[in-house]
């Protein structure tokens, strides 16, 4: 399986280096197929104007079958954006990183989704359970078995449930 993960990431990296990233997103560092860093900025008018954040992607050998571990970097003086779905330790509560992850999604697709998550924010605030979560959260956000609300899902998803 390792070969699938490497081949897939090589291809994604080639595309990023060849065609570039969407506006506001840029690759900072991708020296291996284990961890990549991106800079992400919200373009146009939003609560996060002129603020740049660093996103970290960690891949395991099961990628892209299993989702990457994605979080905002909060070390070296960097901060996570203040957002109702972003914890102060950088963990992100987004369904596409959890139970709505699909192997056809890519690193760039995740960046774009998170960018639009920030862009559409109406009020800068931390999640209500931030303190409790940060106290007990494991280092890797993928180890959290949670409650992912359908907070951030991709634009063209089907309504996948009907109320019972």
Partner 1 sequence: MSSDYEFSDDDGDYYDDEEMLDGTQEDDMDMDAFGEDFKVVPKGKHKAYEVEYDSLSQAAVEKLMKQDVDHICGIFGVDVSTANLLLRYIKWNKERLIEKYMDNPTTMLVAAGVIVPEASSQPAPAPIRTHSSTSSGFHIPKSLKPKVEEPFVCPICFDDDTSIQTLALDCEHTFCFGCWTAYVNSKIRDEGEHSIRCMAEGCALVAPDPFIRSILIPEPGAPKTWDRFQELLVRQFVACNNDLKFCPYPSCTNTVSCPSASSKASLATVVPTVSCGALREHMFCFGCPIESDHRPVVCGVARMWLKKCRDDSETANWIKSNTKECTNCQSTIEKNGGCNHMTCKKCKHEFCWVCMGPWSEHGTAWYSCNRFDEKTGVDARDAQSKSRASLERYLHYYNRWANHEQSAKLSLDLYAKTEKKMEDMQITSALTWIEVQFMKKAVEEVDKCRMTLKWTYAMAYYLAKGNQKDLFEDNQRDLEKAVEDLSELLESPIEAENIPTLRQQVTNKTVYVQKRNEIVLEDTANGFVEGRWKWNITVEGFDDPESD
- H helices of 1-63, where? 2-19
Closest CA to 94 of 131, 121, 62: 121
Of 20-28, 99-107, 117-125, 129-137: span binding partner 1 (CB under 8 A)? 99-107
93 is catalytic: yes
Q: Which string of x and - marks every residue 111-140 that binds partner 1 (by CB under 8 A)? A: ------------------------------
Read off the DSSP letter of residue 91.
B
**Contact of 118 with 46, CB cutoff 8 Å:** yes
Of 29-37, 50-58, 81-89, 156-164: span binding partner 1 (CB under 8 A)? 156-164
Smallest distance from the beta carbon of 21 to partner 1, in angstroms?
19
Task: Please tell me whether residue 154 binds partner 1 under the rule CB under 8 A.
Answer: yes
Angle (deg, nearest 10), helices 2-19 and 107-119:
60
* Cα 90 from Cα 70, distance rounded (Å): 9
Smallest distance from the beta carbon of 156 to partner 1, in angstroms?
6
Cis peptide bond upstream of 64, omega within 30: yes
Task: Please tell me whether residue 19 binds partner 1 under the rule CB under 8 A.
Answer: no
Q: Is 154 left (phi over 0), alpha (psi -120 to 50) or beta?
A: beta
Site residues for partner 1, window 45-84 (CB under 8 A)? Answer: 62, 64-66
Given candidates 21, 80, 105, 108, which one binds partner 1 under the rule CB under 8 A?
105
Task: Please tell me whether residue 23 binds partner 1 under the rule CB under 8 A.
Answer: no
Of 19-27, 32-40, 73-81, 102-110: span binding partner 1 (CB under 8 A)? 102-110
Judged by CB, which is closer to partner 1: 82, or 109? 109
* Cα 123 from Cα 140, distance rounded (Å): 27
Provide the annotated active-site residues.
93
């Amino acid at each position: 399986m390792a070969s699938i993960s490497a081949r897939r990431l090589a291809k994604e990296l080639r595309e990023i280096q060849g065609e570039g990233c969407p506006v506001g997103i840029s690759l900072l560092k991708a020296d291996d197929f284990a961890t990549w860093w991106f800079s992400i900025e919200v373009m146009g008018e939003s609560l996060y104007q002129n603020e740049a954040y660093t996103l970290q992607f960690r891949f395991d050998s099961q990628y892209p079958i299993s989702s990457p571990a994605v979080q905002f970097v909060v070390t070296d003086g960097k901060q996570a954006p203040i957002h109702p779905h972003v914890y102060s330790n950088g963990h992100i509560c987004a369904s596409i990183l959890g139970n709505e992850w699909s192997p056809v999604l890519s690193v760039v697709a995740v960046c774009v989704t998170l960018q639009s998550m920030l862009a559409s924010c109406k009020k800068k605030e931390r999640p209500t359970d931030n303190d409790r979560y940060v106290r007990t959260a494991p280092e890797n956000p993928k180890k959290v078995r949670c409650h992912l609300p359908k907070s951030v899902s991709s634009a063209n998803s089907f309504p996948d449930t009907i109320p019972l």
